[in-house]
Chains A and B, each alone.
Chain A
């Protein structure tokens, strides 16, 4: 008796939903083994990682604070990813969003107008779009690789932000340290859950996720983008214009990342700093894929990802585990997810025992993943 991996006639819809659950299960199991090996009670580890961080309202608020930028960016990126447009520049688009929106907050520092905050968010969105329009323009006009261009622009954007807070926008009474003034209340996102840091940016993020869902599932453009992603030549034959897709894909990612940027500085940070993101722009790429490039999946993936971050901190605090454990957990999760994804397109079949000669021929034709 032997096992064989063979291609499914068509991708399994059931496995597409099951695979993340299997991955999470296997990650937990690996976590149990790992924690036993390092001499920690696995139940303590489980508690520290998954329960302790969210066992009160503050913790749940933190989960939202951390998940909001991740889901925002991931939903935007997914729109492009579905059409094979690879925007790796969300980190920079986030920074430009923070610059544009935050600049408005500093420019109208004395203002207490109710329009200031909405204007900042719009400015952040436009800023992110402008930044992502550079790779879009270069791609559509000169056919440059948007992966490289968008990635390189991350460094440019972060350095522009660094320049601004080191000189022109530096807090005049801040001992020359590179920070802007703290934003006024009129320029800060309100807290939506008392006693926590959960801010209105979380609601914006949920709205964007809903918008993303409508775009992907209900709009014709969303459909066209998916066709482009799945069968480029078919899309071409149908008369879909590839250039439009590139623009939409990159602008959606840039706009969402820009909103995430201004939500961070007008939310939990409250001022412009040389670094406004602990790598959300990159982590969101993982979130987008763990969430199957689907808005609802992304919603859950962002919550899971942020729980892993919080859990890593809490494991340090409660169990004295090093911070690298968080990285290990994220890596293990991705590893299992990719492994489990194999079974969307392939299945394992048990074969009856066969004679050696036949087995040899069978081995030649075996599908190797």
Chain B
């Protein structure tokens, strides 16, 4: 059945070619992938690549992998793939086209990735930020909160009004960890500091992000940061003459004076390592959660406006996180009602961090439900 259908379509194509008067043109080959020994690696992106943001960083990782593995790999990506029903088709397409390794880079691709992985047991999948894995599906995510904590220290030292504004997308554990770590970092150097949060209910909506940042600045925030995909918050800060802390990418060129630093993501080493493992046949399904130590998270260069003693303090804390001496979620930590949820001397487990659904003391407003 399948062959008749395919033959009909090929015949159709060929007749079209003939009609175009290009009888000598070869039938376009869908799999002109080059030689078979190369590892074919596919990437599924949730937004267009653009100049900065979540997807941009993943694409930098892809390019770094291409650079370091050279002729051994060949990569393709599909951008702007909505989460939900669309994703399964795109992921499956990669697998059906003979790709060996597929990175699916958004939480909403979790169930589709698992579904496709069942149908293609010989293909290797890596899903970012999810919690379901399988024999041929690994998961990976970064400890964004480590960078958030450090950027919070910068914010705590630089604020005059003691209010920071946070533009956030969705109240999921990953975002809450970021808000909480930022607040903890800020209050570790400035106990009076408060953080106000506005939710945009969208990962990428420059208009709404801009509005949220404006409102936060009007409410007295003299530092804004964001957990959304555009550069709108940084640009708003630049125009209003307050400070900003970028996210995902170094956004300093969108706010030369405002941009204090950014919490940046780096996937290149990880992508290269996993692709190499598939090449060597040593890949196995893992749940990778890498942070500053693994090089997945960094702070972008500090703005000249940041005094040397603050820079030194940040460097010291960064080293402490790298060595494991400092964990942002070490007790005592209280929630908004002053109830102590993490006792002094203890540290939250990874499992509790993954499920986080409360605000620490110092965050203003109620967590939306």
Identify the A interface with B (CB < 8 A): 41, 43-44, 46-48, 51-52, 54-58, 60, 62, 65, 159, 162-163, 166-167, 174-179, 182, 197, 264, 267-271, 273-278, 310, 313-314, 316-318, 320, 322-324
Residues of B35-63 contacting chain A, CB below 8 A: 48
* A43 and B17 in contact, given A57-B5, A176-B173, A313-B78 (Cβ under 8 angstroms): yes
User: Residues of A contacting B76 with CB < 8 Å?
Assistant: 316-317, 320
User: Residues of B contacting A324 with CB < 8 Å?
Assistant: 48
User: Residues of A contacting B84 with CB < 8 Å?
Assistant: 264, 268-269, 273, 275-278
Identify the B interface with A (CB < 8 A): 1-2, 5-6, 9-10, 12-13, 16-17, 20, 22, 25, 28, 30, 48, 76-86, 88-90, 92-94, 96-97, 107-108, 111, 131, 170-173, 201, 354-357, 368-369
A175 touches B131 (CB 8 A): yes
**Cβ-closest chain A residue relative to B86:** A278
**A-side interface mostly:** helix
A58 touches B96 (CB 8 A): yes
* A273 and B83 in contact, given A51-B12, A57-B1 (Cβ under 8 angstroms): yes
* A273 and B108 in contact, given A176-B357, A323-B80, A324-B48 (Cβ under 8 angstroms): yes
The residue that A197 contacts in the complex, of B6, B88, B96, B354, with Cβ under 8 A, is B88
User: Residues of B contacting A65 with CB < 8 Å?
Assistant: 85, 89
Report the minimal beta-carbon distance from A266 to chain B, rounded to whole angstroms.
11
User: Residues of B contacting A276 with CB < 8 Å?
Assistant: 84
**Cβ-closest chain A residue relative to B45:** A323
B85 touches A177 (CB 8 A): no
A313 touches B93 (CB 8 A): yes
Task: Tell me, in angstroms, the Cα distance from A71 to B22 when the chains sit together.
Answer: 37
Task: Tell me, in angstroms, the Cα distance from A261 to B128 when the chains sit together.
Answer: 28
Report the minimal beta-carbon distance from B99 to chain A, rounded to whole angstroms.
10
User: Residues of A contacting B12 with CB < 8 Å?
Assistant: 51
Task: Give 22 A-B contacts (CB < 8 Å), ordered by A residue.
Answer: A41-B28, A52-B30, A55-B9, A56-B5, A166-B368, A175-B173, A176-B172, A176-B355, A264-B85, A269-B84, A273-B84, A273-B108, A274-B170, A275-B84, A278-B82, A278-B84, A313-B93, A314-B93, A316-B76, A318-B30, A322-B79, A323-B78
**Cβ-closest chain B residue relative to A32:** B20
Task: Tell me, in angstroms, the Cα distance from A167 to B93 when the chains sit together.
Answer: 34
New A-B pairs, 15, CB < 8 Å, besides A43-B28, A47-B28, A162-B201: A47-B30, A54-B9, A163-B369, A175-B131, A176-B172, A176-B173, A176-B356, A267-B85, A268-B88, A278-B86, A316-B76, A317-B78, A318-B30, A323-B80, A324-B48
